[in-house]
Structure 1
Amino acid sequence: MLSLRLYMAQRLSAMVMGPLVLGHLALMIYAIQGGLSSAEILSRTRGSLAWLLFYGTLVLAVSIHAAIGLRVILHEVTGLKGRALGAFTWGFLLILTALGARAVLAVTFL
């Protein structure tokens, strides 16, 4: 049952990531072609709840997707199981989410 839930969570996170990654790439291309500097980009993202939600959602989806994928790889390569595998997965998820949240907050509010 757990493997089915993890499978579904990874697939759902991929479905969320897809359009957000495409949106991010489109924004990067627009910014680069428009000749925007880093300072100009930051001036447009500061204090924006929309950018916070956009990139916050992307960070959460990527963190979930990566943690589950790494869990599968770790199990296949090392044979790790049970609580140790679960602890690693949750730890990695929390670390990725915290680092991503820090980056999003730096771009939107600091």
Structure 2
Amino acid sequence: MLDLRLYMAQRLSALIMAPLVLGHIAVMIYAIQGGLSVAEILGRTQGSAFWFAFYGLFVLAVSVHAAIGLRVIAHEWVGLRGMALSLFTWATGLGLFTLGARAVWAVTFA
């Protein structure tokens, strides 16, 4: 049953990530073609609840998606099982979420 829940969580996170990836790419193309500097970009994102929510959801979805994907790789290639595999999955997910959340905070509210 755990495998089915992880499978569904990874698929759901992919569904969430897909439009966010497209939005992120569109914003990056707009910023590059518009010749925006880092200061101008930060001026638009600082204090923005929208960008905080957009990239916060992005970070959460990526953290879940990547942790589950790396779990499968660690199981198949490294042979991790049981508690070691669970600890690896949680550490990976929480580590990615922490790094991403710090980045989101830095560009929106720091």
* Structure-1-length-normalised TM-score: 0.99
Distance, in Å, in 2 between the alignment partners of 1:29 and 1:73 is 33
Pairwise CA distance, 1:94: 0.5
| Residue type of the alignment partner of 1:88 | F
The total of aligned residue pairs comes to: 110
Amino acid at match of 1:59: V
Equivalent position of 1:50 in the other structure: 50
1:57-68 → structure 2 map (5 Å cutoff) = 57-68=57-68
Where does structure 2 lack aligned partners over 5 or more consecutive residues?
Answer: none
Output the amino acid matched with 1:27: V
* Cα distance in 1 between the residues matched to 2:78 and 2:58: 29
**Residue 76 (structure 2) pairs with residue 76 (structure 1):** yes
Deviating runs (4+, > 3 A) in structure 1? none
1:78 Cα deviation from its structure 2 partner: 1.7
Equivalents in 1 of 2:30, 2:106: separation in Å?
21
Counterpart for residue 13 of structure 1? 13
Give the Cα–Cα distance (whole angstroms) in 1 for the partners of residues 76 and 59 of structure 2: 26
- Structure 1: which 5+ runs fail to align? none
- Letter of the structure 1 residue corresponding to residue 66 of structure 2: A
Q: TM-score, normalised by structure 2?
A: 0.99
How much has 1:15 moved relative to structure 2?
0.4
